[in-house]
Structure formats: structure tokens, C-alpha cells
Amino acid sequence: MILKLNSIYTMDCIDFLNKIDDGFADLAVLDPPYNMRKSDWDTFKSDKDFFDWTFSWIDVLLPKLKDTGSLYIFNTPYNCAFILQYLVSKKMKFQNWITWDKRDGLGASKRKYSNGQEAILFFTKSNRYTFNYEEIRVPYESVERMQAAEKTGILKNGKRWYPNPNGRFCGEVWHFTSERHKTKVNGKVQKLDHITPKPLDLVERIIKASSNEKDIVLDCFVGGGTTAVSAKKLLRNFICSDSKAEFVEAAKRKVKAL
Ligand SMILES: C[S@@+](CC[C@H](N)C(=O)[O-])C[C@H]1O[C@@H](n2cnc3c(N)ncnc32)[C@H](O)[C@@H]1O
């Protein structure tokens, strides 16, 4: 393969994926356009054009995953409903529909409920896949009850159960404040080096759960570099690309600064 590990390329996703060997990646984290007209790269003539293009890069991507590999795709819940069907038709194994509660509005509405979530599809190529559930435990919600249970335990089916000091198993609804909201100053949105960056802690959860150290993480829509930065921090290898040179330069700077 002519591409190098731990590099970020300026390339169209399909050209990039065509240069990757089959069965190469342990994990693909993909945050593609959503067809929400947020930028030129997010604008398609029609839903049909958007889904034709989405399914075309998925077709090229799937062989690049190892048989033990995992795949995460971000999108709107509406688009994910179609992408899910497509992945099922390609014999991928559905694991979770993760709801990301962004703690930030995508837009208030008087005619329907305001949007505040994105969806993340978690699929695997087979039933043999990495899932490090111990690495991604989250705090218990009922703090007082758990504090009491640490001392005396809770009686369950005749046995005493004690809470895990690292928290409970991670569920399918994730609460991470969006970067846009996190970086507001006096309530005003600031200009970031990418318009739709994903929170680093959210991507870190995916990488911790679905890969091990030295595994290969692939992202062909790396934008401001969140996947590459998370992978490097967590001692994974990465191979990434984006079609926009200015995003790739920003991503490379962030990776180098680690
Ligand atoms: C939603 S953003 C990804 C943001 C990224 N996850 C982050 O945290 O910064 C989608 C990215 O896809 C890129 N993109 C759009 N069309 C592309 C294509 N045909 N090939 C490769 N990248 C493309 C855009 O330049 C944009 O950076």
C-alpha cells in the first residue's frame, strides 16, 4: 500500500479508500456530510444524490475493514434510518443506534420539537469484534443510592451487589456538549477551525470501546482532525483524509502538537 500509517491526506474519500488495502482497518469512525447545506461540502442537489453518494463510499469502505472490524457513522437521525437499512442489506451486523444529546440546539421550532440530537450508527463486520466495556463505564446517576450501596450493598436475587467504583455500563444515549456550544463566549458562537467538529471526549469513547492499542483507526472525513488526535492520544494508529486542504493542515498541526 502506498499510503502511510499515522498520516492525514488531502483526498476525495473514494480515491483515498481505493488506495487502502482490503482488510486493513480495525475501526472506521466516519463523520460525513449530513446534506444540511452548512457548507459547499455539505450541499447536494437532492436527497437522492446525497444517498447515492453516501452508499457509493460505503461500498468502497466496507472491504477495507478487517473481519473483526467495527464501523461508526454519524448523521442526522433521518439520514441514519436509510444508512442503517443499507448497511443491513450489505450484511453488516447492527449493534447500536447511539443518540448523541448535543446539549445545544440545532434550531428551535414552533411547528415541531426542536432538534438537539444526532445519531451514531455502530455496526460490526462479524460477531467477533472488540468491545472494551470496562474502559467506557460512566458515573451512576443515583449518586446517593450508590453511596449507600458502597457500604451495605444492594440485595439482588438473594445476593449482595456492590456498585463498580468506575461506574455503570455505558448506555446508548450519550450526553456530550457540542464544541460549538462549549466554546461560546457570552453566549456567542465563535469561529472554530472547522464548522462541525465532534467533541474529542465523544470520539475517544468510540476509540476506547472499539479498538485496542496499536490497532488501526480509519477516517476519510477527518475535518479538523478529531479522530486522528483521539487515536494518537490513545496509542492507536490512524489513517485519515479529508477533501479540504485547509482542514487537513489544521488537523496535522493538532496531531503534531500532541
Ligand atoms: C462533518 S465534517 C467532519 C468533522 C470532523 N469529524 C471533526 O471532528 O472535525 C465532514 C467532512 O467531510 C469532508 N468531505 C466532504 N466531502 C468529502 C469527500 N467527497 N471526500 C472527502 N472528504 C469530504 C468535509 O471537508 C468535512 O471536513
Q: What is the pLDDT of residues 180-205, one digit of tens each?
A: 777 777 677 777 777 888 999 999 99
Cell of 161: 451487589
For domain 7-130+172-256, give the CATH number. 3.40.50.150
Cell of 233: 492520544
Question: In the predicted model, is pLDDT for residue 148 greater than 80?
Answer: yes
Question: In the predicted model, is pLDDT for residue 37 greater than 80?
Answer: yes
Is any atom of ligand 1 closer than 6 Å to the C-beta of 243?
yes
Residues 110-129 have a mean pLDDT of 94
CA distance 36 to 59: 23
- Domain extents in the chain: 7-130+172-256, 133-170
pTM: 0.95
For 5, the 3-state DSSP assignment is: coil
pLDDT of 105 reads 60
Question: In the predicted model, is pLDDT for residue 136 greater than 90?
Answer: yes
CA distance 180 to 191: 9
Is any atom of ligand 1 closer than 6 Å to the C-beta of 33?
yes
Is any atom of ligand 1 closer than 6 Å to the C-beta of 24?
no
Cell of 135: 474502559
74 — pLDDT class (breaks 50, 70, 90): very high
pLDDT of 184 reads 73
Is any atom of ligand 1 closer than 6 Å to the C-beta of 248?
no
Q: Whose CA is nearest to atom 15 of ligand 1?
A: 41
116 — pLDDT class (breaks 50, 70, 90): confident
Residues 134-147 have a mean pLDDT of 90
For 128, the 3-state DSSP assignment is: coil
- How much of the chain exceeds pLDDT 70, in percent? 98
Question: In the predicted model, is pLDDT for residue 163 greater than 80?
Answer: yes
* CA 227 – ligand 1 centroid, Å: 12
